[in-house]
């Protein structure tokens, strides 16, 4: 997934300065952002006051959108460094291509996981013959310094571990939950689970007290730890819990994101995550000159041009404001 903002602002992330040591309720309102020709996403991370949840550093929610007579998602080839992308669908299909030669159609509840590492480029689009509804989330995970120059890779997992209980089903995207472990490669202590609740469900989800968490509601209006959270909104929960109570008067679902607070300070600009502004500038130059990021074959259209660099130096400042 790309940040298609033509004037992206640098975002300083990382550090533990504003990680809540205990449970909190911080509702993160979405920001409407156009993505490609016909898709509008709700951007939840980074936001003005909350930049990361564990290593999760970018969260977009989109749909459900009726794309019966529309092209749907159309994101041209674009570059990434220093992160992983997670593609997650509740409805529709997304065709992934990348500079490694990967070609994969991702469908609901299947995990598309791309590790950018030192450099990769990819495109995402709805296939020409696609379902009438598109609904999903796109997420980024920051790579720690020791792994951020790793070789790029693509993973696709059609079958994920599922945890069940009365009124409750959880598909595990990344990490561990209640004894189940995702096959997706991780580089920091992290977890992500897609949780479906039956009508009238009242459940307690086991969580790690040393992780910080946030819950992104995908469908239905849910009561999460006593807070009403509507679809397309995300509730930051802080740390210090061993279980999370969730109730649903109607059937619904949410994505639970968690992880050990990310201590390293970093800077994120456009589609790049680095530790210094000079690295960002070099990555942009390499993309514009055709170096380093390879070629995405098969996409019908031009690749994205990088925006101009901001006039002020990019510096990693952590979570302090």
In the chain, what are the domain boundaries?
24-259
Output the pLDDT for position 18: 64
Give the class (CATH, top level) of 24-259: mainly beta
Mean of pLDDT over the chain:
92
Binding site members: 78, 80, 122, 124
Cα–Cα distance list, 248 to 38, 77, 211 (Å):
32, 40, 24
Output the pLDDT for position 33: 85
Q: Nearest to residue 106, comparing CAs of 248, 36, 237, 1?
A: 1
Output the pLDDT for position 321: 31
Residues 6+ apart with CB under 8 A from 194: 88, 109, 170, 171, 173, 218, 253, 254, 255
Binding site members for Fe cation: 78, 80, 122, 124
pTM > 0.95: yes or no = no
Output the pLDDT for position 252: 97
Q: Are 114 and 169 in contact (CB under 8 A)?
A: no
Output the pLDDT for position 167: 94
| Ordered mean pLDDT values, 10 residues apiece, the chain (321 residues) | 62 68 88 75 89 96 94 95 98 98 98 98 96 97 98 98 96 96 98 98 96 97 97 96 97 98 94 96 96 96 94 60 31
Output the pLDDT for position 320: 36
Radius of gyration of the CA atoms of the chain, in A: 19
Q: Are 169 and 195 in contact (CB under 8 A)?
A: yes
Q: Nearest to residue 44, comparing CAs of 183, 159, 137, 179?
A: 137
What the block records as the tokens of 126 is 């709805």
Q: How far apart are CA 36 and CA 74, in angstroms?
A: 5
Output the pLDDT for position 34: 78
The torsion angle over the Cα atoms of residues 238, 243, 244 and 247, rounded to 10 degrees, is -170
Output the pLDDT for position 183: 98
Beta-strand pair 176-177/234-238: unpaired
């Amino acid at each position: 997934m790309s940040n298609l903002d033509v004037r992206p602002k640098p975002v300083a992330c990382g550090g533990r300065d504003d990680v809540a040591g205990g449970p909190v309720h911080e509702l993160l309102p979405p920001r409407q952002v156009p993505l490609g020709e016909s898709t509008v996403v709700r951007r939840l991370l980074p936001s003005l006051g909350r930049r990361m949840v564990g290593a999760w550093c970018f969260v977009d929610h989109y749909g459900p959108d009726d794309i019966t007579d529309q092209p749907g998602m159309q994101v041209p080839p674009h570059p990434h460094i220093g992160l992983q992308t997670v593609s997650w669908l509740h409805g529709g299909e997304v065709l992934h291509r990348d500079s490694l030669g990967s070609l994969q159609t991702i469908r609901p509840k299947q995990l598309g996981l791309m590790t950018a590492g030192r450099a990769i480029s990819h495109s995402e689009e709805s296939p020409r013959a696609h379902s009438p509804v598109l609904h999903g989330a796109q997420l980024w995970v920051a790579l720690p310094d020791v792994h951020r120059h790793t070789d790029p890779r693509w993973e696709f997992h059609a079958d994920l571990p599922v945890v069940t209980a009365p009124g409750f089903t959880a598909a595990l995207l990344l990490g561990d939950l209640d004894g189940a472990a995702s096959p997706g490669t991780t580089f920091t202590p992290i977890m992500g689970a897609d949780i479906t609740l039956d009508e009238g469900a009242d459940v307690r989800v086991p969580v790690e007290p040393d992780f910080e968490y946030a819950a992104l509601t995908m469908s239905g209006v849910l009561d999460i730890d006593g807070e009403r959270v509507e679809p397309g909104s995300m509730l930051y929960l802080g740390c210090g819990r061993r279980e999370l109570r969730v109730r649903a008067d109607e059937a619904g679902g949410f994505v639970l994101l968690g992880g050990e607070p990310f201590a390293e300070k970093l800077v994120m600009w456009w589609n790049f995550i680095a530790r210094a502004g000079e690295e960002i500038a070099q990555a942009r130059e390499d993309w514009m000159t055709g170096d380093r990021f390879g070629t995405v074959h098969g996409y019908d259209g031009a690749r994205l041009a990088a925006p101009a660099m901001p006039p002020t130096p990019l510096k990693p400042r952590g979570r302090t404001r």
